[in-house]
Chains A and B, each alone.
Chain A
Amino acid sequence: MVGKNPENISALQTDQTKALVRNLDFFYGDNHALKDINMPVYANKVTALIGPSGCGKTTLLRCFNRMHDLYPGNRYKGEILLGEDQKQSNILSKQVDPIEVRMNIGMVFQKPNPFPKSIYENIAYGLKIRGHSRSFIDDKVEYSLRNAALWDEVKDRLQDLAVNLSGGQQQRLCIARAMATDPEIILFDEPTSALDPIATLSIEQLILELKDQVTVLIVTHNMQQAVRVSNYTAFMYLGRLIEFDTTAKIFAKPAVKETADYVSGKFG
């Protein structure tokens, strides 16, 4: 169990910390949605956020790329420190430009959301924003599509509209799009909840392969998925982080009763 000192658990690990959530509170207007969250995110590992609906797991995920800044009335308190060796900057600070944060932290959404453009243009979108050259973008599009196991399926129709792909292909395209800009962390918000079991499997496979290149944070309502893809799991309930540990421990020997009840299916 983490409690107030996430440093305690990182001391137990040899893994490097990529980001550190410290004393994070979040408010939707008057609604106190996250309460004093403390947890580490380890570099090149997959960390799953689980918990019943409304527990705040997606809210926490969307703090990492300042998505809440898009809507008025939202407020952060506390810190998310980004970068290795603890000399990090707080990405929630008002001095930090949210666009700068999103340049380094990618996101894949619940429902595949390809832009109404060609397959090529979808991948090139983030690269164009960053001002890369045409030849760099061409190479990167191919690399990212290969990386997302999509190249062979789409290489002959890069100029076709991305919305004509199947749901699973669209989601892999969205992953390729997010990975094309070499983010430090990639956030997945229930990435398979709109997909069939076979497409789900291929996305999970992809996530496992991605962690060599990037740090992954994934929200899932599917506990088997957390077991299959993640190294660490955070269990949240009613806006609080109840327990954070290795996935093996959370599912085999959880320290807190609520965690045990949830992972054994007694509620949620």
Chain B
Amino acid sequence: MIDQPIKSTLAKSKPSNLVRNLQEKLIEFLLFLAASSSVAITIGIIYILISESVSFFQEVSLVEFLTGTEWTPLFADAKYGIWALLAGTIVTTAVALFVAIPIGTISAVYLSEFAPEKLREIVKPCLEILAGIPSVVYGYFALLFVTPLLQRFLSDLPSFNMLSPGLVTGIMIIPFISSISEDSMRAVPASLREGSYAMGATRLQTAWSVVLPASLSGISAAYILGISRAVGITMIVAIAGGLQPNFTWNPMESAATIATFIVSVSLGDLPHGTIEYQSIFAAGITLFVITLITNIIGHFISKRYREIY
């Protein structure tokens, strides 16, 4: 009795089931393609970076690359010492962090612990706009405003130097640091804050000795992200820092960073397959490794100081 109608519906629905299943499979496949595209692109980029660098390192020894302090790929007597570019990268990043870490952290503490709600709603978006300004604009701001301003106090500062783009890069990454730090401070549970106030602590004591240590992992993640950003910043330094590779630790001199070298060389018309051309990829993989290492350190630190409340 009961078998009959069930059988008939099954039989009837079979073709439509097939179509539906096919549709499902097709959509699933498209979704898979979309999801895996980013992975595939990453792998592709790494593959090209590595394969081009391999041919580069067949001509230039790794030791020379990692220890040399002269970078002159376009000279007759070409030298490939990454330190000439690395020094510029490290100096501009250090100047940037010197600006961004104190200002970013202090703004985060202020916004999270002191600012009245209304003021916070105004200041926070303003800070975040800083990150939305195109970096070219920052570059010209550094070259045409900050450098002349600095030259008033430092009369022997050259027009192209690392100090000015470093400071401006610092301004650009303030919102990265303040915003993530503030989020992690606001995630500290009210019970911890109340515990501190109940002991008779002031706001400053509470912010400094309870909220900051409790949000250490988020804050260090913010710093690491700031470093990654600063290391890769290209336009600002390319415009205001000069493009000459120069092994120096003095921010008052002009120099190139890894990123600006890549820009300046790829704008020229170097034939493919030449060693000069391949040097871009060697520089690129160095940048990639630096960012990778900072990210791994960041991951490690935030695990180590994971909030346990």
Residue tally, chain B, CB below 8 Å to A = 24
Select from chain A the residue with minimum beta-carbon distance to B205: A129
Tell me if A109 counts as interface (CB < 8 A to partner B).
yes
Tell me if A221 counts as interface (CB < 8 A to partner B).
no
On whether the beta carbons of B308 and A116 are closer than 8 Å, the reply is yes
How far, in angstroms, from A99 to B203 measured CA to CA in the complex?
A: 10
Q: Count A-B contacts at CB 8 Å.
A: 73
On whether the beta carbons of B191 and A109 are closer than 8 Å, the reply is yes
On whether the beta carbons of B198 and A125 are closer than 8 Å, the reply is no
Instruction: Write the nearest CB–CB distance from A1 to chain B, whole angstroms.
Output: 32
On whether the beta carbons of B196 and A125 are closer than 8 Å, the reply is yes
On whether the beta carbons of A174 and B195 are closer than 8 Å, the reply is yes
Tell me if A117 counts as interface (CB < 8 A to partner B).
yes
How far, in angstroms, from A115 to B213 measured CA to CA in the complex?
A: 9
On whether the beta carbons of B198 and A107 are closer than 8 Å, the reply is yes
How far, in angstroms, from A103 to B210 measured CA to CA in the complex?
A: 17
Tell me if A181 counts as interface (CB < 8 A to partner B).
yes
Q: Which residues of A contact B (CB under 8 A)?
A: 65, 67, 70, 72, 99, 102-103, 106-107, 109-111, 113, 115-117, 125-126, 129-130, 161, 163-164, 174, 177-178, 181
Select from chain B the residue with minimum beta-carbon distance to A100: B200
Nearest 9 A-B pairs (CB), nearest first? A107-B198, A126-B199, A103-B200, A113-B195, A102-B200, A113-B191, A163-B308, A116-B214, A116-B213
Q: Which residues of B contact A116 (CB under 8 A)?
A: 192, 210, 213-214, 216, 307-309
How far, in angstroms, from A130 to B307 measured CA to CA in the complex?
A: 27
On whether the beta carbons of B199 and A129 are closer than 8 Å, the reply is yes
Q: Which residues of A contact B201 (CB under 8 A)?
A: 99, 125-126, 129
Select from chain A the residue with minimum beta-carbon distance to B308: A163
Per the 8 Å Cβ criterion, residues 178-201 of B in contact with A are 189, 191-201
Q: Which residues of A contact B308 (CB under 8 A)?
A: 116, 161, 163-164
| 30 A-B residue pairings within 8 Å (CB atoms) | A65-B198, A67-B197, A70-B193, A72-B116, A99-B202, A102-B197, A102-B198, A102-B199, A106-B198, A106-B199, A107-B198, A109-B198, A110-B191, A111-B191, A113-B189, A113-B191, A115-B192, A115-B195, A115-B210, A115-B213, A115-B214, A116-B192, A116-B213, A116-B307, A116-B308, A125-B201, A125-B209, A126-B201, A129-B200, A164-B308
Instruction: Write the nearest CB–CB distance from A214 to chain B, whole angstroms.
Output: 15
On whether the beta carbons of B196 and A70 are closer than 8 Å, the reply is no
Q: Which residues of A contact B205 (CB under 8 A)?
A: 129
On whether the beta carbons of A67 and B209 are closer than 8 Å, the reply is no
Select from chain A the residue with minimum beta-carbon distance to B307: A116
Inter-chain pairs besides A115-B214, A126-B199, A126-B200, 8 sampled, C-beta below 8 Å: A72-B117, A99-B201, A102-B197, A111-B191, A125-B199, A125-B209, A161-B308, A164-B308
